[in-house]
Amino acid sequence: MAQPRTMFDKIWESHVIVDRDDGQTLLYVDRHLCHDGSFFAFDMLRDTGLPVRRPDQTFTVPDHYVPTRGHELDDAVDEERREMIVKLDRNAKQFDLTIFGLGDKRQGIVHVVGPEQGITQPGMLMVCGDSHTSTHGALGAIAFGIGASEVSHVLATQSIWQRKPKTMRITLTGARPFGVLAKDVILAIIARIGAGAALGHAVEYAGPIFAAMSAEERLTVCNMSIEAGARCGMIAPDETTFAYVKGRPYAPAGEAWQKAVAYWKTLPSDPGATFDKEVGIAADDIAPMVTWGTSPEDALPITGQVPDPADEADAARRAAKEKAIDYMGLVPGMKLTDIRIDKAFIGSCTNGRIEDLRIAAAVVKGRRVAVPAMVVPGSGLVKEQAEKEGLDRVFTDAGFEWLESGCSMCVGMNGDTIDPGERSASTSNRNFVGRQGPGARTHLMSPAMAAAAALSGRLCDVRELSLAPSEGD
Amino acid sequence: MEPFTSLTATAVPFDEVNVDTDQIIPSRLMRKPREDANYHTFLFHDLRYNEDGSEKPDFILNQAPYRDARILVAGHNFGCGSSREVAVFALMANGFRAVIASSFGDIFFGNCFNNGVLPIRVTEETAARLRADLHASPGASMTIELEPQTLTGADGTEYQFDVDPFRKHCLLEGLDAIGLTLEYENEIEAFEDRYRQERSWLYP
């Protein structure tokens, strides 16, 4: 009998073009996604004089620099940002690549657009010059972020050199507690294992909780795999996955669909397959989470308190905590629910999908924001769907800004930033120093928790808010 | 790509852990062309400069012994986060050709090699000791020899390090990956032919 294999091994092995004796492998790339930050790579490609090897397997979409207050080129906050969007357009034209440009309702954040368009499929090997490419693994693919030189390499050769990473399985046991969303699950995992714990590893998330998640929830989980250092994150494809992919514009149809599904069903890890590292986490302890510090590993249940660095035995870790607490303007021991915020941001490739907006809207409905707050749908199609459902009215009636799709305040590259010293409740993926603007203080959380924070003006436990009567009624 | 064979240079100890690429170069500077005359100021920009552009004297790269440092000795998970290759561009604009740490963000690690910068993984203990030695003699030099895979700390101790043989070869010769991959054109084509048959649904 054949050796039981992991899903990662199966997909990896089916993409091997060359296995060198020195441990390097040349892998075939099924789909390559590029965005408006990929201009260095196109310049590098031009320097080689080579064409794009497979234009039909390359998709482009502007997202990092696109304006969200208005969606015309002229809405870009300055000439430099405008130029970034124009450059992608020009590169797509020159190399004959599909582009979902500004003005196309399919435009959005590259990691929202890929799955939404059916470009992302189980069994694929996908790359993109963006670290959150790990998102796409949620549909049972190997997907990882690469640098600009590698992007140019993939453009020229449709392949990439890699050393095979180790495998890690993270199994969640028990039941998902009430009020715990996919974002809480992944924040809790990162808090438990640490921001560097999965370095050099391909992670598979396993267990009934992930199996019971919707495809969009899985996308949220896999999106943040990189925040634990993982090369990629993945979840076994199943009926949920197939139902999600079916009927999307770039998904196979008819006879091809049957063939694809038959193959996809062979992908999950075989019983008895061994992983280099196994991590087990009990879900029962997970509560709605928020971050207090400047690394995604600095996450705690909302019922907790800002930690005291003095409790940290390791000197380097103690210093890191002190620095983070100082930057964040917090006091050790203070209750997380006493932290007041200045802004709330709902969106990003982590939490900018329709289900995220539905959850946030359910919290917001009939209430008013206490601080400036914005909703940035992950794509034009997400925005359109939300408007069909009347979610835009729920948000705007509550005082939220309802904006155009893009990366926006997750990374602030389009000019959507918060001011120095200001504090945000954000559904994005990184609370790094200055991530949302110089001196900005970011607290990561789920869309429900960010909505609750927007309403109360402080970090708060959404489980309590949803039971309480609406303010102002 | 500029080959890397050996390097003797001032080394700077960088004690922080989980240094993300947003710290190495803030995202608002990513759109700047590499030809920008101020590119060297982008490295650790917000840690290194006040808002008015004046230097923060506490920041280690602003201190006299380390101004011409070309080797950085960091804490674990250095270069985590964003895939931005400009993090390596910014290091290079300041003359850095080697980074030593107990672990690196995977993407940053690869980006270094692709630009002729050598990232060296050592044990947590070795990284801590190298930094301690540098703190003890500020401005001290270290030597890195790629062919024999050795590095010499500030106190003269020699350490052996591991490096991927393929990456090592590319660095020593200054080879870029695309040129090398094109030598496998036949293999890529054969793969594609077979793959298109097997996975017809991927090619509507």
Residue in A2, A27, A6 with CA at minimum distance from that of residue A267: A6
Residues A262 and A294 in one domain: no
- A187/A431 Cα distance (integer angstroms): 12
pLDDT tens readout for residues A419-440 = 999 999 999 999 999 999 999 9
Which amino acid makes up residue A91? N
Q: Which residue has the tokens 């409905």?
A: A365
Contact assignment for B17 to A84 by CB distance below 8 Å: no
Residues A253 and A329 in one domain: no
Residues A26 and A75 in one domain: yes
Three-class SS string for A121-142? CCCCEEEECCHHHHHHHHHCCE
Single residue among A277, A298, A325 that ends a domain in this structure: A277
The predicted structure's pLDDT at residue A17: 98
Is A183 inside any structural domain?
yes
Residue B136 C-alpha, separation from nearest chain A C-alpha, in angstroms: 17
Domains and CATH numbers, chain B: 6-173 (3.20.19.10), 176-204 (no CATH)
The predicted structure's pLDDT at residue A1: 61
Beta bridge partners of A349: none
Interface probe for B, chosen from A17, A33, A431 (most Cβ of B below 10 Å), is: A17
Is A2 inside any structural domain?
no
Is A254 inside any structural domain?
yes
Q: What are the chain B neighbours of A156 within 8 Å (beta carbons)?
A: 178, 181-182
Single residue among A248, A277, A306 that ends a domain in this structure: A277
* Number of domains, chain A: 2
Task: Decide if B81 touches A, using CB distance below 8 A.
Answer: yes
Contact assignment for B16 to A163 by CB distance below 8 Å: no
How long a stretch of residues is chain B? Answer: 204
Contact assignment for A432 to B27 by CB distance below 8 Å: no
Q: H or E stretch including A94?
A: helix A79-95
Is A472 inside any structural domain?
no
A153 closest CB neighbour out of B164, B177, B184: B177
Q: What are the chain A neighbours of B204 within 8 Å (beta carbons)?
A: 252, 256
A259 closest CB neighbour out of B82, B108, B201: B201
Q: Which residue has the tokens 């495998």?
A: A167
Q: Is pLDDT of B202 > 80?
A: yes
pLDDT tens readout for residues B17-72 = 999 999 999 999 999 999 999 999 999 999 999 999 999 999 999 999 999 999 99
pLDDT tens readout for residues B59-78 = 999 999 999 999 999 999 99
Q: ipTM, 2 decimals? A: 0.97
Residues A196 and A316 in one domain: no
Task: Determine the 3-state secondary structure of A296 from DSSP.
Answer: coil
Contact assignment for A18 to B184 by CB distance below 8 Å: yes
Is A283 inside any structural domain?
no
The predicted structure's pLDDT at residue A315: 84
Residues A212 and A122 in one domain: yes
Residues A177 and A225 in one domain: yes
Is A282 inside any structural domain?
no
The predicted structure's pLDDT at residue A274: 98
The predicted structure's pLDDT at residue A469: 47
Edge-to-edge strand ranges of the sheet holding A58-61: A98-99, A58-61, A31-35, A125-128, A142-145
Q: What is the mean pLDDT of chain B?
A: 96
Residues A185 and A258 in one domain: yes
Is A120 inside any structural domain?
yes
Residue of B nearest to A50 (CA): B178
**With 0-12 CB in 10 A as exposed, 13-18 as middle and 19+ as buried, what is B92?**
buried
Which amino acid makes up residue A428? S
The predicted structure's pLDDT at residue B186: 98
- Structure tokens belonging to residue A458: 């402080």
Would you tell me which residues 141-160 of chain B have a C-beta closer than 8 angstroms to some C-beta of chain A? none
Single residue among A277, A301, A329 that ends a domain in this structure: A277
CATH number for A332: 3.30.499.10
Q: What is the full DSSP assignment across B29-76?
A: GTTS-TT-TTGGGGTTHHHHB-TTS-B-TTSGGGSGGGTT--EEE--T
Contact assignment for B166 to A196 by CB distance below 8 Å: no
Residue of B nearest to A298 (CA): B18
Q: What are the chain A neighbours of B84 within 8 Å (beta carbons)?
A: 37, 147
Alpha-helical regions (H) of chain B? 21-24, 45-48, 86-93, 106-113, 124-136, 165-173, 177-182, 185-198
- Look up the domain containing A451 and give its range: 289-465
A150 closest CB neighbour out of B17, B110, B187: B110
Q: How many CB atoms lie under 10 A from the CB of residue A153?
A: 27
Q: Which residues contact A181 (CB under 8 A, 6 or more apart)?
A: A217, A220, A288, A359, A446, A447, A448
The predicted structure's pLDDT at residue A466: 60
Residues A298 and A270 in one domain: no
Residues A239 and A146 in one domain: yes
CA B88, chain centre distance (Å): 6
- A416/B153 Cα distance (integer angstroms): 45
Torsion sign across C-alpha atoms A375, A184, A231, A442: positive
- A467/A375 Cα distance (integer angstroms): 23
Residues A102 and A17 in one domain: yes
**Looking at residues B152-161, what average pLDDT do you find?**
95
- Structure tokens belonging to residue A179: 């009020």
Residue A469 C-alpha, separation from nearest chain B C-alpha, in angstroms: 40
Residue in B175, B84, B112, B94 with CA at minimum distance from that of residue A41: B84
Q: What are the chain B neighbours of A18 within 8 Å (beta carbons)?
A: 184, 187
**Looking at residues B151-170, what average pLDDT do you find?**
96
Residues A364 and A442 in one domain: yes
Task: Decide if B1 touches A, using CB distance below 8 A.
Answer: no
Percentage of residues in chain A with pLDDT exceeding 90?
A: 96
Is A473 inside any structural domain?
no
Q: What are the chain B neighbours of A226 within 8 Å (beta carbons)?
A: 81
Residue B107 C-alpha, separation from nearest chain A C-alpha, in angstroms: 6
Please list the ranges in chain A whose pLDDT falls under 70.
Answer: 1, 466-473
The predicted structure's pLDDT at residue B204: 83
- A384/B146 Cα distance (integer angstroms): 56
Q: How many CB atoms lie under 10 A from the CB of residue A23?
A: 12
Residues A234 and A317 in one domain: no
